[in-house]
Amino acid sequence: MLRIYDDFLDKRDFEIVRDCLLHQQFPWYYNPSITGTESEDDLGLFQFVHPFYMGIGNPAESKHVNFIAPLLQKLSPKTIVRIKANLRTNTPEILTSHFHIDTDITCKTAIFYINSNNGYTEFMEGTKVNSVANRLVLFDSHMMHLGTTCTDQKIRVVLNINYLPVALNGELQLPL
């Protein structure tokens, strides 16, 4: 199951999230690979990340988590597995990471696009989702996907949320 939602947040809420992540003093941390595979190191792939929440049982939480509250309120997760912002820098040609899953936990993955650019998320089954500001793609966590750099903007920024949705009638349901 893969769903795409354009204009996911209302304009004001989107601006809160975007302005936080794109602020010049927002803390980004260098990550020497995208998916943690050695072959990516050979390609020179890297990204900057901001860990908002890094896992069940992990007490580390970003002091900036309140800025993404509008997004979390709309997703209405029962349990957050992980929230991480990714920033990839401009490259002369679009570079792709390897296909991967974000977590071994069966849950939902939401990718929220912060800025519009010619980068994209590609799914192993063939779907490509272009990076459009305020777009959200929602899918089952077992779906293999990859991300790219961009060539037409300085950076490509996405927010990646892995979560368990609210259960209705004993089955996991999306609140959307």
Highest averaged pLDDT of the listed ranges 14-23, 48-57, 97-106: 14-23
| Per-residue confidence (pLDDT) for residue 58, from 0 to 100 | 63
Domains of the chain, first to last: 2-164 (2.60.120.620)
Residues 64-96 pLDDT 10s: 888 999 999 999 999 889 999 999 999 999 999
For residue 1 the two structure tokens come to 């199951």
| Beta-strand pair 77-89/155-165 | antiparallel
Quick one: CA dihedral 1, 114, 88, 90, positive or negative?
A: positive
| Per-residue confidence (pLDDT) for residue 32, from 0 to 100 | 86
Q: Of 52-56, 59-63, 125-129, 167-171, which range is least confident? A: 167-171
Please give the model's pTM, rounded to 2 decimal places: 0.90
